[in-house]
Amino acid sequence: MPDTVVDRLEAVRAAIVRAEAEAERAAGSAALVAVSKTYGEEAILPVLEAGQRIFGENKVQEAKAKWPALRERFPDIELHLIGPLQSNKAGEAVALFDVIETVDREKIAAALAKEMEKQNRRPRLFVQVNTGEEPQKAGIAPNETIAFVARCRDMHGLAIEGLMCIPPADENPGPHFALLARLAREAGLSKLSMGMSGDYDIAVSLGATSMRVGSAIFGARASSAP
Ligand SMILES: *Cc1c(COP(=O)(O)O)cnc(C)c1O
């Protein structure tokens, strides 16, 4: 691994450009979401100074402690919530995030709709799909996804932009990415959030429009945050 966070960011950017070219996709069609969970300002600042603007966090409270100050200095930051959302945090999530990638049940859809109305703020939304149908993992089951996307729209007035998945850690991710792409096509959605440090190049080849990359940029995390 390259030595500094900026060297690693550049290496990831270069690998994405290569993967886009190999898949005959337009340069820049696959966006990098830098996952900064567990890392503080001293690690994040050089990445911001190197021009990265899209970041992902998995916890509302942690993001709330870190990002408002950074946003004052870099107003064009785009912050993604990529971790599970509790309905009692929906208000804070709507206030803080530009994209919420983890809409995965009726109760969350209803809570987000209510808060978006109240705050007159409309973060972009993704539905998380549990492509591996793992009992411990968040996300809607694949065979319920299309109906859930329709209910978000028709019952809650939520515009869902795309789908997100986290494949099982011990499986080849390719089939999971392909399944997510197929479900998005069938639901009429254009955005796919898939791919992490170990497999973002494969995700690009299977149509990812954003990849969530943490440790390949920031280094191994001290805690084993999921
Ligand atoms: C932590 C996390 C990532 C990034 O994982 P890395 O393997 O460090 O790239 C991506 N997506 C989600 C949902 C995460 O929680």
Residues 122-172 have pLDDT tens digits of 999 999 999 999 999 999 999 999 999 999 999 999 999 999 999 999 999
Nearest partner of 101 among 71, 120, 78, judged by Cα: 78
Atom of ligand 1 nearest to the CA of 200: 9
**pLDDT at residue 226 greater than cutoff 70:** no
Mutual orientation of helices 174-187 and 145-156 as an angle, nearest 10°?
Answer: 40
Atom of ligand 1 nearest to the CA of 58: 15
Is this prediction's pTM over 0.95?
yes
Question: Residue 17 above 80 pLDDT?
Answer: yes
Residue 196 beta carbon below 6 angstroms from any ligand 1 atom: yes
Cα separation, 27 vs 212, whole angstroms: 18
pLDDT of 214 higher than 60: yes
Task: Establish whether residue 83 lines the binding site of ligand 1, counting it when its CB lies within 6 angstroms of any ligand atom.
Answer: yes
- Whether 90 has a pLDDT exceeding 60, the answer reads yes
Q: Is 212 in the pocket of ligand 1 (CB under 6 A)?
A: yes
Q: Which of 198, 210, 220, 179 is nearest to 101 (CA)?
A: 210
Give the pLDDT of residue 1: 67
